[in-house]
Structure 1
Amino acid sequence: MSDTEAPKIEFPCENYPIKVLGRGGDNFQSLVIEVVQQHAPDLDVSTVTVQDSKKGTFQSVRFSITATGEAQLSALHKALMDTGRVTMVM
């Protein structure tokens, strides 16, 4: 067996897709957008999509950003998780 290395992301990376999952509610989408804009001010909010779970308990918010580096992505992940409403960031 050969050890293959995972592909590296070259930064800046345009159209870097992110999906945020969390408990839905009146302001979940706006909360996510607010946090994302602090780390990726170029977010085009017109491209943000939201999908409710079958029972409506959870929501997924999908968007793409221009990722500038690992530090930006780590800080964004931490800020989203620190809201207490986000359960997963992919």
Structure 2
Amino acid sequence: MKNKNTEEAYKRVWSRKANKILKDLVVQRVRWMTEKEVSEYGWMGSAPVIEFTNGVFIVASMDDEGNDSGALFTNHKDLLVLPRI
């Protein structure tokens, strides 16, 4: 059974880290991984990539061990998911 206090502490730590790095960044473009990138990661599918103007990017993974590509879900009625391809 998970310790709720520990889980909440992890959420706070990771939220601080993510906000420090990602807050106020401007999206430059959204694309899918190239075949070369997929190969370098050792994945089977191409994940959506969100690139920011400062060179930072986010890639969706199926898990936190980076075992394969993943999809991104949104709450926008016209774009509910950016699928893995």
Give the TM-score, by structure 2 length. Answer: 0.28
Tell me which protein shows more strand as a share of its residues.
1
Based on CA coordinates, which of the two structures has the bigger radius of gyration?
2
Using CA pairs below 8 Å that are at least 6 residues apart, which structure has the higher relative contact order?
A: 1
